[in-house]
Amino acid sequence: MIPVLTKEEAYKLDKDTIESGYLSQEQLMDNAGKAIAQFFCEKIDDPFNQKVVVVCGKGNNGGDGVIAHHYLKKYNVSSEIVFTEQKHGHTNLIKKYKISKGDYFIYNDKTKFDKYDWVIDGIFGIGLSRELNDKYTNMIHKIVWNDENDEFKNANVISIDMPTAWISPKYTVTFGYPKESIFFDSARVILSYSHDSIIVSDIGLKKSKSNVLLVEENDVIKLIKPFCLNNIKHKYTNESKIIAGSDNMPGAAYLACRSALVTGSGYISLYAQLDNENLIHYINSSIPEVVIKDINESQANPSYDEPDFLYCTWNRYTSNTLIGPGCDPIELQTIFNSKFDEFGVANSYVLDAGAIKSLELVYNKIDENKNIFSLLPSKCILTPHWSEFQTLLHKDFESYDDIENSLLFLKKVQNMIGGNIVILKSFNTFIITKNVIYIMDNGPSLLATAGTGDVLSGILVSLLSQGYSRLEASILGTYLHAEAANYYMNNISKDGMTASDLIDCIPHAFNKLRGQSVN
């Protein structure tokens, strides 16, 4: 896993590296500029027939851009520099690297970027902490916006270290370690973004640690249990219990149950109100492997004389449980209004959709000194999307522009969740645990369609039932979910994936990961 640094951690790492005497500031900048040029020559198609403009701001990113231009020219790539300011602060670099006057000019309203094949973005780095003025807004507009069609361009942009606001580059070449803000960039909500677009370049910085980690495929592969023909003793070995669906939303139960089956659950009990006739008929006719049970069925319990929904739900068997997809939030409130420690809860739970909405309803009724996680046994995985997450915790992010505050809030959530895990579904996925935030950035935009969250929750409960820990299931499950979508995109179509299509791709994604495993 790759440590992901805050702005402060990145500055400190630069300082520590320089003060150690291993590399000077000048050497670090030279390595950074050279890394940009080498990446361009090695990874861009037909690089020596491309015309490049390097847009350089006043800060260190701009300095890296000047040096990148020098090496591009040295490698026989056609390159020019556009400085964003007359007083750009890079005169010494121009002299040191012998940049000719014909190679650079100052940005003005008549500057056009369309004549270049590639733009290298060295406008701002991690130090930007203010609103952009009209000049910079117009400059960025010219880079990213097609006025003729009134839409974003599919611009060929390479950003230095991290993208400037509202620029969604084809590639970001970041130095040493990726920066946290990259994964909260609002432009990625709107523009194209791929897992392979972040390139981490070693420029000689010291080793660093962080409690925010970017998950790589090798990390996931190591989690996969070895396949063995005799590792399933009987059909109940990998049993999953699912509480999902209603007459209005039977499809959610179908998606959760079927994805759990395909992922490896050997036996699935779907608990439902038997008077939900539409749900019962739909499941019976579409997934005959699922066993439907009455959620109100009486269960031997010395503490209660009558059948009890809460006891039935949380303490019936030792299998792991998914609660929520397609459920009525009001009907589920009884779970979260009770004390779970009275029932000796010993399993792991996945809470999604209706369960999370039910928590929202209960939140207003609890003591203001408590947080929502105090209602839960410390063995839950919650899977909210951004809107549910904000409502759940009474935090309103009006947009994704407040990048730093959003991340700070996620870190505050770490202090609230106890032993639970939150999988925050967004344009990147954030797995929040008490000590570490894991970032998964391999999911394509195809996942932004109805029902894919139900598929994820089914995958998670299945992995729990196969003996994976909650953290292992969270990491492997979210990665597998995204890779199934990538399989569809790369082998079937880049358009129109449904949640049912996604389920069909799970075995292919699992085989791909298992094929690379050493087990």
pLDDT at 343 over 70: no
In tens, the pLDDT along 484-504 reads: 999 999 999 999 999 999 999
Check whether residue 36 and residue 75 sit in a common domain.
yes
In a domain, 213, yes or no: no
Q: Is residue 16 part of a domain?
A: no
A 10 A CB-CB count for 16 gives 13
Total count of domains within the chain: 2
- Could you tell me if residue 122 is inside a domain? yes
- Share above pLDDT 70 across residues of the chain, in percent, rounded to a whole number: 83
Q: Do 317 and 192 fall into the same domain?
A: no
Is 234 in the same domain as 315? yes
Confidence at 233, pLDDT banded by 50, 70, 90: low
Q: Which of 163, 185, 208 is the last residue of a domain?
A: 208
CA–CA distances in Å: residue 504 to residues 182, 256, 342:
32, 13, 41
| Average pLDDT of the residues of the chain | 86
User: Is the residue at 14 inside a domain?
Assistant: no
- Residue 17 · residue 49 · CB < 8 Å: no
In terms of pLDDT, which residue wins out, 506 or 347?
A: 506
Same domain (yes/no): 60, 177: yes
Q: Answer yes or no: do 260 and 388 share one domain.
A: yes
d(CA 281, CA 274): 10
What's the average model confidence in pLDDT over 385-409?
A: 67
**Which pLDDT score is estimated for 245?**
95
Mean pLDDT of 3-13: 92
Tell me whether residue 12 is in a domain.
Answer: no
- Residue 81 counted as domain residue: yes
Say yes or no: 344 and 484 in one domain: yes
* Whether residues 203 and 224 fall in one domain: no
d(C-alpha 173, C-alpha 187), whole Å: 17
Domain boundary pick from 173, 208, 243 = 208
Asked if 246 and 348 sit in the same domain, the reply is yes
| Confidence at 309, pLDDT banded by 50, 70, 90 | very low
In a domain, 41, yes or no: yes
Cβ-contact 421, 468 below 8 angstroms = no
Distance CA(112)–CA(115), nearest Å, equals: 7
Q: At 185, is the pLDDT very low, low, confident or very high (cuts 50, 70, 90)?
A: low
In this structure, what DSSP letter does residue 382 have? E
Q: What is the CATH number of the domain that holds 333?
A: 3.40.1190.20
Of 146, 177, 208, which residue sits at a domain end? 208
CATH code, domain carrying 196: 3.40.50.10260
- pLDDT of 344 > 50? The answer is no
Beta bridge partners of 380: 349
Residue 388: what pLDDT? 86
For residue 3, report the phi and psi dihedrals to the nearest 5 degrees: -60, 140
In the predicted structure, residue 287 carries a pLDDT above the cut 70: yes
Least confident of 69-83, 178-192, 365-379: 178-192
Lowest-confidence region among 123-127, 357-361, 405-409, 411-415: 405-409
Per-residue pLDDT tens for 207-217?
999 999 999 99
pLDDT-derived band at 240 (thresholds 50, 70, 90) equals very high
Q: Which domain holds residue 144?
A: 2-7+22-208
Q: Is the pLDDT of residue 435 over 90?
A: yes
Question: What does the pLDDT read at residue 273?
Answer: 85
Q: What is the pTM of this model?
A: 0.88
Q: Is the pLDDT confidence value at 199 over 60?
A: yes
pLDDT tens for 56-105 read 999 999 999 999 999 999 999 999 999 999 999 999 999 999 999 999 99
Least confident of 139-143, 318-322, 391-395, 467-471: 391-395
Confidence category of residue 304, pLDDT binned at 50, 70, 90 = very low
Domain assignment of residue 384, yes or no: yes
Residues 188 and 223 in one domain: no
167 plus 285 within the same structural domain = no
429 touches 439 (CB < 8 A): yes
Residues 237 and 198 in one domain: no
CA 303 to CA 254: how far, in whole Å? 34
Q: pLDDT-derived band of residue 360, with 50, 70 and 90 as boundaries?
A: confident
178, 228: one domain: no
pLDDT-derived band of residue 192, with 50, 70 and 90 as boundaries? very low
For residue 372, report the phi and psi dihedrals to the nearest 5 degrees: -60, -30
